[in-house]
Chains A and B, each alone.
Chain A
Amino acid sequence: MSSKVRAQRHEMPKQAPDKRIKNFSEVTLGYTPELAVAEASRCIGCPKKPCVSGCPVGVDIPEFIALIAEGDFLGAAKKIKEKNSLPAMCGRVCPQESQCEAVCTLGKKGNPVAIGALERFAADFERLHADPLAEAQSSDLSMGKVAVVGSGPAGLTCAAELTKLGYKVVLFESLHATGGVLRYGIPEFRLPKDIVDEEVEYVKRQGVEIRLNVLVGTTVTLDELFAQGFDAIFLGTGAGLPYFLGVPGENLNGVYSANEFLTRTNLMKAYQFPEYDTPVSVGKRVVVVGGGNVAMDSARCALRLGAEKVAVVYRRSRTEMPARLEEVENAEEEGIEFMFLSNPVRILEDDKGWVKGMECIRMELGDADDSGRRRPVPVPGSEFILDVDTVISAVGTNPNPLLIRTVSGLALGRRGNVIADDETGMTNIPGVFAGGDIVTGSATVIAAMGAGKLAAHGIDEYVRTKNGRGM
């Protein structure tokens, strides 16, 4: 293959913006086998494999890409699953541009290999073509019994990994459906829920038992779980209470946390109201405050729910936005307006307790803060009013306190996050491990998966030592 061909990255086909803003179907449509083979053939198979070290779960990226290039799509999926139990989801929502693709050798000369799109292709191909019953199943689960709390990306990965290591796992979820943020947070058009269902089914087929509607800490306590014979417990309870803006008017009707807006829309399927019972009311003019993926998801949901105009207000500039570039571009294509270097000051009220506007102030970037990003500073006298009737606050979440407040003696960090060992994932309480947003605060799906996997090995070592089996 000539170097000219190698330089051209194959983009996935997408639904046209004017069509997709009227539905909740997936935006990106995935590669055809021909496109996948062509894209996979771009990989030069460089000996250093920087991409593998760029992957938080260490997927053997060049190997699976080579299998795709050879046309062995099922083999590619199997190769990915050696390290990653949830590839159809990761292929869709991982920020590859800042991980594996960021360090791809081809990236230095132009466009990196589309690793995420290829991962997605292999996983989707397997889902459609492989016989699920033919998968190798972990039959011997006699190493011990582990309770995993929370069925989001950290919990699912920890559970799947523990099963591979020979443990019987019971996965507890407080909601009526599995997946955590994959279910309630990320919208259907970015991660279809039948993909989540299928990957959860895969984890179940590995022998994981799932118990829904159990709020560990109150429905059953950690002490009771240990008394029931669990050797270890993994806490993957995720982010919790949403922050609000801290400005006057935040409790007016028409102000949502992104969590409420997205939970109503995604978990409760309010976009199919009244066929589904849970409503969500989206006004004509919506403003979303924040610059992360959650803000992009909220803005794009609002558009699909029928808002006439949707704007995103972010206090820093475009380059500091934590959202994935791909999602920002998708949002822009869909007609979402961005107002950078702007920050809310107060929300204005009509005479019936509803939002009728939001006052903002212009910001400018000052010196760098702790995060290394330049700190936004208000410009005095630059206030302006946005004519909106709905405000969605997407400015982050606290760690969920519900479980951790029931565990006496659990060491917590300054922000109420659980402190877990970097190497093993163990907390200060022997046998209690933690990972994901409950430890780090709001982060990414793949970071949570990495933490779940790391903790699974920490648990394995702990239980072996405890039961006198050695390594």
Chain B
Amino acid sequence: MYRILKKEILAPKIKLIEVHAPEICSHAHPGQFIVLRMHEKGERIPLTIADSDPVAGLLTMVFQEVGKSTTELGTLNEGDVIQDIVGPLGTPRDIRKLDCVICVAGGVGVAPIYPEAKAYHKIGTKVISLIGAQTKDMLIFKDRMEQVSDEVYYSTDDGSFGHKGFVTEVLDDLLREGLCPDEVVVIGPLLMMREASRVTAKYGVKTIVSLNAIMVDGTGMCGSCRVTVDGETKFSCVEGPAFDGHKVNFDELIARQRRFLAEEKLAMEHYLAGAGGCKCHQK
């Protein structure tokens, strides 16, 4: 049982929770994730570790409410408990001193990119962060990212903050102007990671993406999260979630993310009609 010690609403539908999980925190590395299950009937939900404090044993997770399970998770408050958390899972990112990296994050992807930016920054690598969101209200982790970045560029779809348009346009501009990073790290929606990988391919810049494939166990047992990388089937949970963005078959993965759309819709309707909905008629 993991009690929620802290909860923050970072943006509409984007929430941060913190739990005490000392064993996970003392072994977590940037790029790894956990799987949580809220209760006996819950799904196993993979969430990237947004921060971990090995001294205090505090594990921070950030999620966006998109389906039934994340919406229900969003209703939990400080003091409530999560039944199961297992981790850290996945292959840690190989973070070593470089001259310059660009961290490109979209939407809720800012949270998982933060530990990587922080790790690069700590060992003296120049970190340039490009952060995109739909609107100014949806920008999260602004202060945290500014603390671990040498330069930060913002973009919003509606132009309410920073560049008006996509974060990948900012990336294209910087690379065209002659910026030569050793590596570009991209975390965000699949469409955005696919586009960012296309952009960097033009300039021949090494690109690492972090895939949020559908998982069940998260320990390599089921193969739900499989993805084609360089023509080979890989399991995101064991061999990933980070892969070379130029080698990932994004189109296949985008199709695979739609596997349970009908069931997800049904689950949401069932949830809204039942426990999660209006309780005014219940005693």
Contact = CB atoms under 8 A, between A and B. Distances in A.
Interface string B235-258: 100100000000000001001101
A273 B69 CA distance: 13
Contacts of A281: 259-260, 262-263
A402 B220 contact: yes
A251 B225 CA distance: 10
B89 interface: yes
Is chain A's binding surface mostly helix, strand, loop or mixed? loop
Contact of B87 (A218, A278, A401): A218
A214 interface: yes
A263 B228 contact: no
B84 A212 contact: yes
A297 B101 CA distance: 49
A381 interface: no
A39 interface: no
12 contacts: A176-B83, A218-B87, A219-B27, A219-B86, A253-B256, A259-B222, A260-B216, A263-B217, A274-B267, A277-B68, A281-B262, A401-B220
A174 B226 contact: no
Contacts of B37: 176
B87 A219 contact: yes
B43 A277 contact: yes
A134 to B, nearest CB: 30
A196 B263 CA distance: 29
Nearest to A185: B221
Given A219-B24, A263-B216, A281-B259, A273 B221 contact: no
B252 A251 contact: yes
A260 B224 contact: yes
B88 interface: yes
Given A176-B37, A242-B223, A268-B43, 11 more contacts: A175-B217, A213-B85, A218-B27, A219-B88, A244-B223, A244-B233, A251-B228, A260-B223, A277-B68, A352-B255, A400-B220
Contacts of B23: 214, 219-220
Q: Across the A-B interface, give the 7 residue pairs with the lowest CB-CB distance, nearest first.
A: A279-B263, A353-B255, A260-B222, A176-B84, A274-B270, A213-B86, A257-B223
Is chain B's binding surface mostly helix, strand, loop or mixed? mixed
B135 interface: no
Contacts of A244: 223, 226, 233
Nearest to A243: B223
Contact of A277 (B27, B220, B223, B267): B267
B42 A277 contact: yes
Interface string A249-265: 01111001101100110
A84 B266 CA distance: 45
B30 to A, nearest CB: 14
B50 to A, nearest CB: 18
B185 to A, nearest CB: 22
Contacts of A256: 224
Interface residues of B, number: 44
B38 to A, nearest CB: 9
B19 to A, nearest CB: 12
A27 B224 CA distance: 29
A390 to B, nearest CB: 11
Contacts of B263: 273-274, 279, 281
A18 interface: no
B64 interface: no
Interface of A: 174-176, 184, 212-215, 218-221, 240-242, 244, 250-253, 256-257, 259-260, 263-264, 267-269, 273-279, 281, 352-353, 400-402
Contact of A400 (B42, B69, B221, B256): B221
B233 A240 contact: no
A450 to B, nearest CB: 23
Given A176-B37, A251-B256, A242 B267 contact: no
B233 A251 contact: yes
A264 B89 contact: no
B65 interface: no
B260 to A, nearest CB: 5
A281 B267 CA distance: 13
Interface in B23-59: 23-24, 27, 37, 41-44
Name which of B41, B223, B233, B262 has the most chain A CB atoms within 10 A of its CB.
B223
Contacts of B259: 253, 281
B146 interface: no
A348 to B, nearest CB: 15
Contact of A184 (B85, B221, B260): B221
Contacts of A276: 41
A241 B270 contact: no
Given A218-B88, A240-B220, A260-B223, A277 B233 contact: no
B134 interface: no
A82 to B, nearest CB: 34
Contact of B260 (A279, A400, A401): A279
Name which of A184, A244, A274, A401 has the most chain B CB atoms within 10 A of its CB.
A274
B221 A241 contact: yes
Contacts of B183: none
Contacts of B255: 252-253, 352-353
B238 A241 contact: yes
B264 interface: yes
Contacts of B41: 269, 275-277
A68 to B, nearest CB: 37
Contacts of A218: 27, 87-89
Contacts of A240: 220-221
Contacts of A353: 252, 255-256, 258
Interface string B206-239: 0000000000110111111011100001010010
A402 B237 CA distance: 10
A9 B201 CA distance: 71
Given A176-B37, A353-B255, A268 B89 contact: no
A219 B88 CA distance: 6
Given A241-B235, A242-B222, A244-B223, A279 B267 contact: yes
A257 B216 CA distance: 12
B84 A213 contact: yes
Nearest to A244: B233
A278 B68 CA distance: 10
A277 B228 CA distance: 27
